[in-house]
């Protein structure tokens, strides 16, 4: 097809302007920084945070892409959505001084910056990928704490523009499991540690490789330093120390609960004191059935494998309400004891990896065993 004069003139002008455009593009090559934040006081801040910031001649204050934006004002609803595997997070954009001030001054969190020494072409590609993610049609994603969060998205972008510099970490195994890393973030909150041991299933007992471990901002910061040689610069240091804790206290709490259940079973099985037996029976049946309802309900309601594949459903069950009726508690109790013995055996030989399952199974076995008397030996007044 023949070209008209006007397009030919336009093409000529465009050709003459190419050197100037190239020079302008070089001046506008972005500087990109990885910003990471240490843990904060809120539950969703316990594992740290991260963002990528782009600076160029058009935006000297920087544009920071934050993949951790959500409706935190509705905390209970957001937590429930996270547990159900349907929480919607999105990418927000703010200037760097504003973002750093928010995390450093308002939330009192330590903040680091690493300026990425990628080639200009890689930095431009990275800036384009981030800008694309911030578009209304792309900004939302379904959050997953381990596989798709505010830090894994940064990791994937950095790996894509650096020719896989970070993905070499897939071949490096760690000695840490997903459960250990999870409990570390909750180490100062004993009730949350106990709840986590109760509800988090055996898929989290697998060891991670270093790529997977980069779901944590601190690990991403370390791996970026390893891959680029750029040490993080501290922009702000937390003024108040975080409360210290021990991740193993969750298991200790469940051990106490297990012992308490066994004591209740012993009290319920005492025929010498009818009042003690009645009170212990009521407490035992209520505790077992309600905790069982929690475990089974979460496993049924969640779509997350780390909550659904929970061997604790073999130990605690809402059907323990059957222990409330003398006509059923002996037969039901014997059936439950057989099941618990099998669970303990599987735990002892390593078929069940959850340590909490063994602790709770022993306590529930002792509780139901002491409580479930043969029907002919039950007091007639009951």
Burial class (CB in 10 A: 0-12, 13-18, 19+), 66: buried
Strand partners, 51: 35
Statement: the pTM of the whole predicted model exceeds 0.75: yes
Residues 265, 369: Cα–Cα separation, whole Å: 7
Query: Residue 270 is encoded by which pair of tokens?
Result: 């005492």
The SS3 call for residue 31 is: strand
Within a 13 Å sphere around the CA of 249, how many CA atoms are in the beta-carbon half? 14
pLDDT tens per residue, the chain (382 residues)? Answer: 333 333 323 323 333 333 333 333 344 689 999 999 999 988 878 999 999 999 999 899 999 999 999 887 777 888 888 888 889 999 999 999 999 999 999 999 999 999 999 999 999 999 999 999 999 999 999 999 999 999 999 999 999 999 999 999 999 999 899 999 999 999 999 999 999 999 999 999 999 999 999 999 999 999 999 999 999 999 999 999 988 889 999 999 999 999 999 988 887 776 666 676 778 888 989 999 999 999 999 999 999 999 999 999 999 999 999 988 877 888 898 999 999 999 999 999 999 999 999 999 999 999 998 877 554 444 444 4
CB 39 within 8 A of CB 109: yes
Q: Which residue matches tokens 């969750």? A: 250
Q: Where are the domains of the chain?
A: 29-166+214-236, 249-377
Nearest Cα to Cα of residue 59 among 32, 91, 23, 19? 32
- Selection from 277, 263, 269, 265 nearest residue 377 by Cα: 269
Could you give the CA distance from residue 359 to residue 286 in angstroms, rounded to a whole number? 20
Bridge partners (DSSP) of residue 36 are 50, 112
Give the whole-angstrom CA distance, residue 368 versus residue 333. 6
């Amino acid at each position: 097809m023949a070209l008209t004069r006007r397009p030919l003139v336009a093409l000529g002008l465009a050709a003459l302007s190419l050197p100037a455009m190239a020079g302008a593009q070089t001046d506008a090559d972005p500087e990109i920084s990885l910003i990471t934040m240490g843990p904060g006081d809120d539950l969703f801040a316990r594992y740290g945070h991260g963002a990528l910031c782009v600076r160029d001649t058009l935006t000297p204050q920087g544009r920071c892409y934050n993949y951790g934006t959500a409706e935190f004002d509705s905390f209970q609803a957001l937590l429930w959505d996270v547990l159900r595997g349907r929480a919607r997070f999105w990418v927000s954009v703010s200037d760097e001084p504003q973002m750093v001030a928010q995390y450093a001054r308002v939330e009192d969190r330590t903040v680091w910056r690493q300026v990425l020494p990628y080639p200009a072409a890689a930095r431009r590609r990275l800036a384009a990928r981030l800008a694309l993610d911030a578009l209304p049609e792309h900004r939302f994603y379904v959050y997953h704490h381990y596989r798709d969060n505010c830090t894994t998205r940064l990791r994937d972008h950095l790996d894509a523009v650096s020719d896989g510099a970070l993905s070499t970490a897939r071949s490096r195994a760690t000695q840490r499991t997903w459960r250990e890393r999870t409990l570390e973030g909750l180490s100062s909150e004993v009730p949350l540690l106990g709840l986590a041991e109760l509800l988090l299933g055996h898929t989290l007992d697998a060891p991670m490789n270093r790529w997977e471990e980069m779901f944590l901002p601190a690990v991403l910061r370390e791996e970026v330093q390893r891959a680029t040689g750029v040490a993080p610069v501290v922009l702000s240091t937390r003024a108040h120390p975080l409360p210290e804790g021990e991740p193993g206290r969750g298991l200790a709490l469940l051990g106490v609960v297990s012992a308490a259940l066994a004591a209740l079973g012993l009290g319920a099985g005492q025929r010498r004191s009818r009042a003690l037996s009645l009170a212990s029976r009521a407490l035992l049946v209520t505790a077992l059935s309600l905790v069982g309802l929690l475990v089974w309900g979460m496993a049924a309601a969640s779509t997350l494998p780390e909550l659904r594949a929970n061997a604790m459903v073999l130990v605690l069950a809402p059907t323990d309400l059957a222990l409330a009726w003398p006509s059923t508690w002996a037969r039901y109790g014997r059936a439950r004891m057989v099941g618990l013995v099998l669970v303990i055996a599987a735990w002892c030989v390593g078929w069940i990896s959850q340590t909490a399952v063994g602790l709770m199974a022993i306590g529930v076995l002792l509780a139901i065993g002491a409580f479930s008397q043969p029907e002919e030996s039950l007091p007639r007044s009951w």
